[in-house]
Chain A
Amino acid sequence: MHWLIDPLQHPHIQRALAICVLAGFANGYLSAFVVLRKSALQVGSLSHTLLPGIAVGILLFGLSPLSAFAGALVAALLVGLGSLTVARSSRLGQETALAILFTAAFAGGILILDFAPVDVDIEHYLFGNILFATDDDLRTVFWVSAIALVTLTALRRPVILMLFEPAAAQSLGVPVRLLNYVLLGLLILVLVSSLQAVGCLLALGLLVTPAATVYLLTDRTEALFWGGGLIGAGGAVTALFLSHHFDIGAGAAIILTLAGLFFLAWMASPRYGLLRRRAMLVTAGGAPPLRD
Chain B
Amino acid sequence: MTRDLDPYQPCAAASCGHPQRHELAISGLTVSYGSLTALEEVSLTTHCGRCVALVGPNGAGKSTLMKAMAGLLRPTRGMIAWRGQPLARATAEIAYLAQRSEVDWQFPLTVRGLVEMGRYPQVGWWRRFSARDDAAVDQALETMRLSDLAGRQIGALSGGQQQRAFVARALAQEAHVLLLDEPFGGLDRPSQELLTELLGMLALSGRLIIAAHHDLDSVPEIFDEVLLVNRRRIAFGPVDEVFTPDNLAACFGTPAQPAPLPPPDRDRPAGVRPSAS
Contacts and interface: CB of A to CB of B under 8 A. Distances in A.
Given A155-B125, A158-B125, A172-B90, A218 B155 contact: no
Most buried by A among B89, B123, B125: B125
Interface residues of B, number: 33
A273 to B, nearest CB: 15
Contact of A291 (B98, B106, B125): B106
Interface in A155-211: 155, 157-158, 160-161, 163-165, 167-168, 170-173
Nearest to A153: B126
A215 B72 CA distance: 30
Given A157-B125, A161-B120, A171 B70 contact: yes
Nearest to B154: A219
B155 A288 contact: yes
Contact of A220 (B108, B121, B173): B108
A158 B124 CA distance: 9
Nearest to B103: A165
Interface size class of A (residues with CB under 8 A): 20 to 34
A155 B155 CA distance: 25
A158 B155 CA distance: 22
A215 B117 CA distance: 19
A220 B113 contact: yes
A173 B88 CA distance: 11
Nearest to A224: B108
B155 A172 contact: no
A167 B107 contact: no
A164 B117 contact: yes
Nearest to A218: B108
Contacts of A171: 70-72, 90, 94-96
B239 to A, nearest CB: 27
A161 B71 contact: no
Interface string B59-78: 00000000100111000000
A221 B71 CA distance: 27
A157 B155 CA distance: 21
Contact of A154 (B70, B89, B104, B126): B126
> Dominant SS at the A interface?
helix
A70 B242 CA distance: 66
A165 B98 contact: yes
A36 interface: yes
A189 to B, nearest CB: 21
Given A168-B98, A219-B109, A289 B155 contact: yes
A167 B156 contact: no
Given A161-B117, A161-B120, A288-B155, A168 B96 contact: yes
A172 B108 contact: no
Interface in B125-144: 125-126
Contact of B120 (A172, A218, A291): A172
Contacts of B107: 36, 163-164, 221
B109 A164 contact: yes
A157 B120 contact: yes
A170 B91 CA distance: 10
B72 A167 contact: yes
A198 to B, nearest CB: 26
A219 B106 CA distance: 9
Contact of B110 (A36, A167, A220): A220
A177 to B, nearest CB: 13
B147 interface: no
A173 B98 contact: no
A170 B110 CA distance: 21
B153 interface: yes
Interface string A38-66: 00000000000000000000000000000
Interface string A273-291: 0000000000000001101
Contacts of A164: 104, 107, 109, 117
Interface of A: 36, 154-155, 157-158, 160-161, 163-165, 167-168, 170-173, 215, 218-221, 223-224, 288-289, 291
6 contacts: A172-B120, A173-B121, A219-B113, A220-B109, A221-B107, A223-B108
- In the A-B complex, the 8 residue pairs with the smallest Cβ-Cβ separation, listed nearest first, are A219-B153, A173-B90, A171-B70, A171-B96, A171-B90, A157-B120, A291-B106, A219-B108
Given A170-B71, A171-B90, A173-B91, 10 more contacts: A36-B108, A157-B123, A164-B107, A167-B67, A167-B96, A172-B90, A173-B92, A219-B152, A220-B110, A224-B108
